[in-house]
Structure 1
C-alpha cells in the first residue's frame, strides 16, 4: 500500500471516531444506530490501515467513505448541540435525513469490507472464490466491467498460482473483446502484476500474462505504459527459457507492441530479443543454425570446434560435394545457366537426404553419449525443444517470424541484426516449404519480414550492400524463392509482399540477371487481381526509373517480355493504377524510344491521350515525366517512319 492511501485513511478514521463520540452522547435510538455503525466502520478502517490495499479502488472507496462520514458528523452534531441532557433523552422528533445517513454508512461499510476481502490473501479464499466473483462493491454498481477488472487484478496480487493464471486469462479475454476494457486494465494498475506473473508464474500463468500484455498494447500511449513497466527485459528473459508455448505467446505480444509503437524496437533490440527470435526461427529450419547467431560470422569461416562430431563431418562433406559439383557454396542455389531444373532437384534431394541421415545418426548418438554442451534453446528444468510437439514448434516459428516482421519495419538496426544472423536463409527455407511444411501463416509472415527488410535496404546503401549483394548465398536463396512464388502466382496474399520485395531489390540486380523482369511482366495480364497488378507495376517502375543505373537494360527486358501492350491496356482501363502504369510507360518511352514493339503497341497514341486527361496531367509525378517521354517517342518514331 502506498503512502498516499495511508494518508487518506487517517481522515476517515478520525471522522468515524468523532461521529461515534458525538452520537454516543445522545440517547435516541437513531443516534445509537449511528454510533454503532461509526464504531464498526472505524474498526474496519484501522484494519485496512494494517493491510496491503489495492490502491485504485481504495482511493475511490476512501473518498466515498469520507463523504458519508462528513454527513454523519453533521447529523450527530445537530443531535448533540443546543439540547439539554433531559431533552436529548426524552425528545421524540426524528432528525430529518438520518435514515439516508445510515444508508450511506452501510454502503461505506460494505465497500470497505469488500476492499479488505480482495486485498487480503487467505489460505482458503481461492478455494471458495475461485469460480465466483467476490461480491459487487457499491462503487461499481454503475460500472460492472470496472468491478470485473478490479476483481481479477486483485487476484493477481493475492491469489494462488492457479488463481493468478486464471485471472490473467480473464483479463486477456476482456482486453480482446473491447479496446475500452484494455484501457481500464492499464488505468487500474493491472500491468505490474501481469509483468510479475510473467516473470515468476507457472507455465499457464506466464502464457496467460504474455497474451494479456500483448492485447493491452492497442496504441502508442498504452505501449508506452507497458514499456515503463519493463516488459521488454522480461520478454527477452522469457524467450530464452522453455516451455515453448510461453515463448510463442511472448513473441506474439512483441509483434503486437511493435505494430502499434516503434519506440519498443530499440529497447527490444538492446535486450537481445531479436537474437532469441532468430534462434527460434532457425532451430530445425537450417541444420547449422547454431552458426547463424547474431554475431554475424562469415559463411566461409569454419566452425570453431574441431570436426570430431558426426554433424561436423557431414557438413564438411556437404560443402565439398557442392564445391566439387558446381563450384558454389552449399547454401547457394544453382543458377539456371549452370544446371537444369532436373539437376537442381536432384542436388536438393541428395543434400536433404545426406543431412537428414546425419541428423538422425547424431540424435541417436546424443541419446547414448549426451550432448557436449547445452544449446540456448534447451531445457531449464521445465522441458526442452525436443520434448515439444510439432504443432507447438510450428506455432513458435510462426510467432517468431511475425515478431521479426513487425520489428524490422522501418528500423535499420533490427534489419541489420536479422540479416547478419543469416535469418534470410531461414526465411528462404520457410518460403520453400509451403503449406506441406510449416504452414501458410508462417510463409506469409516470412514473406512480410523479407518485404520490410528489403524496404529498409532500398533506402540504405550499407544494408543493401551487406545483405543483398549478388554474391551472397542468402540473398540468392531469397531471390530464388521470391521468383518461384511470383512465377507460380497462386496465393495473392503471399504474392504481393514477394512482388514488393523484388521491386525494392531492383538496384541490386546485375545486367546479367534476366530472370526477374519476365515473371513481373506476366502479372500485368488482366486476369490478375488489381492489387497484384498494381504491385507489379510499382515494382517494375523501380527497375525502369532513372535512379536505377541499369534502367536501359531493364526497360528493354520489359518490352521484350511484352510489357508494352499490357501497360497500354492498364493506362486506358486500369482505374486503380492508371497513374502508376502511365509512369512506367513514360520511363520505358524515355529510355528505349526506338523500340519497334512500342510503336506497334501504340504507345505514342496513349501518351497523347493521357496528356489531354486532366486527372493525369495534374498529378505531380506525371507533370514533368509525360512531356519528356512524349517528345522522345515522337522524335525516334518519326525518324523510323521516314
Structure 2
C-alpha cells in the first residue's frame, strides 16, 4: 500500500526529528520551553518510526508527511535559535513568547495526524479510534472521511469493511464529486476485493458502491483497468447470496449505461449467459443446450399440449386474433396459456430423439433437470420472493443496458433463452421486471431495425420465442393502458415492422387505435411506429398502408395534422407516405386527405421540415392525379 516515495520522506522526517531532539535538549536558553519541544518531538519521532514499519495508506500518508516535514523544519529552526552563543547573537535571535506556543500546537497537530494515519492503516481501524477527523482534515473533511473508509476497506474486519462500503456508496450517491474522489483515492481496488472476499452484506454494499462510482464517466476507465468487469461477473457466477448478485447485476447496468465501452468487456466475461440464467430461474429452465421447459408443472403442461394438438404441434399463437387475446389476456388457473404453448413448441423442435420417443408414447421422461446456466442454484429456491423478483428485475435491467446499440450483444441475447424469458415475464411478471423486460425488447428491436442479420435470425416469423414476444407486445398495445410498458411496446413493434408478413395484419389495428389516445406521447409513438410500416424502406408498405386505411387511420391522421400541435409534423409525414403508396384510395378522399395536404403545403412551420418538404409535394400531386382520374 505504501510506495517508495513515502518511505523516503519518512526517512528524512526521522532524521529531522532526531536533530530537533538533540538541539532542543542541549539549548542553554528558554530551557523549559525547549524541553517541552523535545518531549513532543520525541513522541512524534516514535510515531514516525512506527509508521516506517507499517503498511501505510499512501494517499493520505503523502500529504500528512509533507505537512509534518514543514513542522519539523520550523521546529529545527526554533531549536537552533535557542543554541545561539554570544551576546550579539542572542540579541538578534530573540524568540517571541508566542513562538513556542505556536510550535507546540503544530507538533500536537502532527502527532494527531500521524496517529490517525497509523490507526486507519492498521487493524486498529476496527476500534472506535476514528471518531472525529485529524487536524489536517479541517479544510477538506469529506476527503479525509473518504480516506478513513477506504483504509477500513484495507485493514478492517469483514463487518467494518461492509459498513465502510455502504458509507462510500452513500457518498457517491449524494455527490458526483465525492465519487470522483473515491476513485482517485484508490477506493476501487478495495471495493473489488470486498466483492470477492466479503459476506453477503459486504458484497452487496461493495457492488452498489461500484455501480454508483460508474456514474463518473471519466473514472470508469480506471475501474475497468482494475478489473471491475471480471469481479462483478464472478459474483454473478459463483452462486453467492442472491441479493448480492442482484446488486452486481445493477452495477453492470450502471456501468454499461454510463460507459458503453463496458459492454464488450462484460460480454467477453460471459456476463450475458449469466444474466440470462438469473432471468430464467423459475421463469423457464434450461435442461440441455436447446430444451426449455417451464419451471412448474412442466410434465403436465407438456402432456396437455401433446394430447390436445394435432400431430403433436402446438397451436400457432402468432395468428391469434386480437379480440380473442384481449378478451382473456391472462389464462385461467387451469388453462393452457399461449406462453406455455410456445415453450412446448421449442421443446418439440429441439428434444433428442430419445426424449421425443418417450413423450410420444405418453411416458414421462425420467431424466432429472441438469441446469447448465453457468452458476450454482443450490439454495436459491429458499430465497424470499422479493429477493427473487429483485434479481430478475436487475438481470433484465442489465441486459437492457448491455443491448443498447450493440449488435453482437443483441445477437448473444437473442440466441439464448432471453426472448422467451422476456415474453413470460411480460405476461406473468409484475413491477420492475416487466418494465425492464419491455425496455430490453425495445433496445434489441431498435438494433434489429438497422441490422438485417439480427432481424432475420432473432425475429423470423417461424421463431417460437419471437412469436411469443410479439404476442405480448401486441397484447399491451391492444390493451392501450398508458403505463410504463406501453411506449416501449409501441416502439418495439414499429422497429420490427420489416419482419411482419403481408398476411400479418393484426399489428396495425391496435396501433391505429392509439392515434386517438389522450396522451400525446402515446399518439406520437404510434405515429412513428406506423410510419416505419409504410416508409419507402418497407417492402410491404402498400399492404400496410391499406391496412391503416381499413382500420380508420386516415381520419385520425387528418385530425392530428390539423390539431395535433407537437404531432402535426409526424402525422403529416405518415399521411404523405400513405398517400404515395395508395393515392387511388377512396377512403383517403372521403377522409379529406387532399384538402389537408393542400392546407399543410401553405403552413410555413410544417414545410420547413426537410422530411415534409421532400414528400409533401409528391404526395399532393399523386393524390390530385389519381383522385381527378377517379372523378371522371
What's 2:13 paired with?
A: 12
Q: Pick from 74, 78, 83 the counterpart of residue 77 of structure 2.
A: 74
> Which residue of 58, 61, 82 corresponds with 2:61?
58
- 2:263 is matched with which residue? 265
- State the match for 1:589 in structure 2: 579
CA drift of 1:312 comes to: 8.7
Quote the Cα distance in structure 2 between the aligned partners of 1:417 and 1:569: 43
Correspondence list, 1:22-33, <5 A: 22-27=23-28, 28=30, 29-33=32-36
Q: Using a 3 Å threshold, how does the CA distance of structure 1 residues 351 and 337 change in structure 2: closer, same or farther?
A: closer
Q: 1:219 aligns with which of 216, 220, 225?
A: 216
Relative to 1, partners in 2 of residues 1:461 and 1:92: Cα closer, same or farther, differing over 3 Å? closer
CA deviation map 1:297-324 (0-9, x unaligned): 488xx9xxxxxxx999668646634652
Q: Following TM superposition, by how much is the alpha carbon of 1:178 offset from its aligned partner in structure 2, in angstroms? A: 2.1
Residue in structure 2 matching 1:237, options 234, 239, 246: 234
1:471 aligns to what SS in structure 2? Answer: coil
Offset of residue 159 of structure 1: 1.2
Distance in 1, Cα, partners of 2:42 & 2:321: 94
Q: Give secondary structure in 2 for the equivalent of 1:71.
A: helix
- CA distance change for structure 1 residues 420 and 379 in 2, over 3 Å: closer, same or farther? closer
SS in 2 for 1:97: helix
- Map 1:356-395 → 2, pairs under 5 A: 384-395=379-390
Q: Distance in 1 between matches of 2:340 and 2:267?
A: 33
- Alpha-carbon shift at residue 150 of structure 1 (Å): 1.7
Q: Matched residues in 2 for 1:386 and 1:370: separation?
A: 20
- CA distance change for structure 1 residues 633 and 167 in 2, over 3 Å: closer, same or farther? same
Q: How does 1:310-321 map to 2 (within 5 A)?
A: 317=303, 320-321=306-307
Aligned mates of 2:97, 2:328 — CA distance in 1: 103
What TM-score results when the alignment is normalised by the length of structure 2? 0.88
- Structure 2 equivalent of residue 366 of structure 1: none
Question: Are positions 1:555 and 2:545 aligned together?
Answer: yes
CA distance in 2, matches of 1:219, 1:386: 36
Q: Give the structure 1 partner of residue 500 of structure 2.
A: 509
Match of 1:333 among 285, 296, 317: 317
CA distance in 2, matches of 1:312, 1:442: 23
Aligned counterpart in structure 1 of residue 110 of structure 2, from 98, 108, 111: 108
Structure 1 unaligned regions, length at least 5? 303-309, 359-368
Partners of 1:548 and 1:573 in 2: how far apart?
28
Counterpart of 2:583 in 1: which secondary structure?
coil
Alignment partner of 2:317: what SS?
coil
- Post-superposition offset of 1:88: 7.1
Corresponding residue to 2:606 among 594, 597, 616: 616
Q: Among residues 120, 123, 137, which one is paired with 1:140 in the alignment?
A: 137
Equivalent of 2:465, from 469, 474, 494? 474
1:78 CA displacement = 2.9
Q: Does 2:427 align with 1:429? A: no
Would the aligned equivalents of 2:415 and 2:458 in 1 still touch at CA under 8 Å?
Answer: yes
The answer to whether 1:180 aligns with 2:177 is: yes
Structure 1 position 352, deviation (Å): 6.5
8 A contact 2:217–2:258 mirrored in 1 = yes
Aligned residues between the structures: 601
- Please name the residue that 1:274 is paired with: 272
Take 2:143 and 2:331, find their aligned partners in 1: how far apart are those partners?
A: 64
| Displacement of 1:226 | 1.7
Does structure 2 conserve the Cα–Cα contact (< 8 Å) formed by 1:408 and 1:449?
A: yes
> How far, CA to CA, are the matches of 1:633 and 1:87 in structure 2?
109
Asked if the contact 1:121–1:159 (Cα under 8 Å) also holds between the matched residues in 2, the reply is yes
- Whether contact under 8 Å (1:243, 1:384) holds in the other structure is no
Matched, 1:401 2:385: no
Q: For 1:65-100, what per-residue CA distance to the aligned partner results, in whole angstroms no more than 9, with x for missing partners?
A: 11112222222233334x2499879x9864773432
Q: Does 1:493 align with 2:479?
A: no
Q: 1:18/1:354 Cα in 2 relative to 1: closer, same or farther (>3 Å)?
A: closer
User: Is 1:119 matched with 2:104?
Assistant: no
Hey, what's the Cα distance between the residues in 2 that align with 1:55 and 1:255?
Answer: 32
Offset at residue 228 of structure 1 (A): 1.5
1:8–1:329 Cα change, 3 Å: farther
Deviation for aligned residue 1:113: 0.9
Q: Residues 408-427 of structure 1: matches in 2 within 5 Å? A: 408-427=403-422
* Cα pair distance change 1:531/1:69, threshold 3 Å: same
Partner of 1:364: none
- 1:249 to 2:247 alignment: yes
Given the alignment, which residue of 444, 449, 455 partners 1:458? 449
For 2:193, which of 192, 196, 208 is the aligned residue?
196
After superposition, the CA RMSD in angstroms is: 3.1
Q: Is the 8 A contact 2:322 2:506 kept in 1?
A: no
Q: 1:544 aligns to what?
A: 534
Deviation of 1:520 (Å) = 0.3
> Following the alignment from structure 2 to structure 1, what is the Cα–Cα distance between the partners of residues 455 and 331?
32
The 8 Å contact of residues 214 and 253 in structure 1, kept in 2 or not, is answered as yes
Q: Once the 2 structures are TM-superposed, how far is the Cα of residue 8 of structure 1 from its aligned partner?
A: 2.4
Q: Which stretch has the larger CA shift, 13-22 or 107-116?
A: 13-22
1:46 to 46, 49, 57: 49
State the partner residue of 2:283: 285
Name the CA distance, whole Å, in 1 between partners of 2:375 and 2:262: 27
